[in-house]
Amino acid sequence: MKSPLLSLPGAVPAEGRDEGVAAHYGDLFREQRALADGSGLVDLSHRGVVTVTGDDRLTWLHLLLTQHVSDLEPGRATEALILSANGHIEHALYLVDDGATVWMHVEPGTRDELIAYLESMKFFYRVEVADRTADFAVVHLPAGSIAPVPDGVTVRETAHGRDLFLPRAGLEAYAAANGPAAGILAYEALRVEAHRPRLGFETDHRTIPHELGWIGTAVHLQKGCYRGQETVARVHNLGKPPRRLVFLHLDGSEVHLPGPGTPLRLAADGEEGRRLGFVTTSARHHELGPIALALVKRNVPVDAELIAGDTAAAQETVVEP
């Protein structure tokens, strides 16, 4: 679904998973600085919007998700995962309940599969699942923003800002009144700086929550009875995840950024050394310069000097080995 904000001056369309919104509006670092200062907004209207209504909505979701949501208070934001039977991450959901409806936004391209799974699990529960993407657009306001929220609009507020489930018909008018708009590249650079993983970027077909630091934020360890819970408990209590998320400071003298999938090796071994991991997301930050998130093998020393392709990379620990 193509955003109307792509008609704004300077808008350059994003590609890949974020197709449909702007990558930037002509000045990446200005847009980042605006968000960091609590001004502007980010068009996330390419994300899927799903709602669950009905008297059993919270108790039912509690059985399916990694997060404890049976007593979720109205207005309190949370995030949750849906795992495979083997504990691998399949979906990431960003939730809030307004007292009558659970609103969630999800990664582009995952909505239909998520809805099909939820529908298959309804059984006798009094719940209704709906795709509201055509009617509502997600708009992100950064932390510290004083932009108003229109009456009746559901808000998901976290330490990183507020996500508005805005009627899609009002997206252009809201952006005009509360801009400037910042592109998805600015939003992603701040996400990388905050060490926040993203489904489809920091995950692959075998990722488990422990590797990305999602234990505690999206996974509640004191609840059971959800698909994949046995793996979560076993790794937490008895084992260690095979990989861990790291934050990388990249050599700023390089013109190019190492893209997703770029191999990581020990700097001392050079480009012919053993592959120890790979870059998941890279970005240019307005203060930190080139940065990235990456997955490395658990036994890689936390002080090891790495190279991403041919780019020097100094690591910071995100998930302890």
pLDDT at 272 (0 to 100): 86
pLDDT tens by residue, 132-145:
999 999 999 999 99
Residue pair 42/187 in contact (Cβ under 8 Å)? The answer is yes
pLDDT at 23 over 90: yes
pLDDT at 235 (0 to 100): 93
pLDDT tens by residue, 219-264:
999 988 899 999 999 999 987 899 999 999 999 887 799 999 999 9
Asked if residue 19 belongs to a known ligand binding site, the reply is: no
pLDDT at 171 (0 to 100): 98
**3-class SS of residue 215:** strand
- Region at 42 (left for phi over 0; alpha for psi -120 to 50; beta for the rest): beta
Helix (H) or strand (E) holding 320: none
100 pLDDT band, cuts 50/70/90, is: very high
pLDDT at 234 (0 to 100): 93
CA-nearest of 140, 141, 144 to 38 is 144
pLDDT at 106 over 90: yes
pLDDT at 252 (0 to 100): 84
pLDDT at 278 (0 to 100): 98
Task: Enter the DSSP assignment of 2.
Answer: -
* Rg, C-alpha atoms of the chain: 20
pLDDT at 274 over 80: yes
Contacts with 140 (C-beta within 8 Å, 6 or more apart), sequence order: 41, 42, 44, 161, 162, 163, 164, 187
* pTM listed for this prediction: 0.96
pLDDT at 35 (0 to 100): 98
Task: Enter the DSSP assignment of 109.
Answer: T
45 pLDDT band, cuts 50/70/90, is: very high
Residue the block writes with tokens 């090891």: 304
**3-class SS of residue 313:** strand
Residue pair 175/43 in contact (Cβ under 8 Å)? The answer is yes
171-206 per-residue burial string, b: 16 or more CB within 10 A, e: under 16: beebbeebbebbbbbbbbbbbbbebbbbbbbbbeee
Contacts with 176 (C-beta within 8 Å, 6 or more apart), sequence order: none
**CB burial class (10 A; 0-12, 13-18, 19+) of residue 15?**
exposed
Amino acid found at 7 = S
C-alpha 4/C-alpha 109 separation (Å) is 19
pLDDT mean across residues, the chain: 96
β pairing state of 41-43 and 181-182: parallel
C-alpha 45/C-alpha 76 separation (Å) is 22
Give the chain's count of helices (H) and strands (E): 6, 18
Average pLDDT for 277-298: 97
pLDDT at 168 (0 to 100): 97
CA-nearest of 21, 31, 23, 20 to 182 is 31
pLDDT tens by residue, 295-312:
999 999 999 999 999 999
Give the domains, in start order, of the chain with CATH numbers. Answer: 4-47+135-194 (no CATH), 48-131 (3.30.70.1400), 242-320 (2.40.30.110)
C-alpha 279/C-alpha 180 separation (Å) is 31
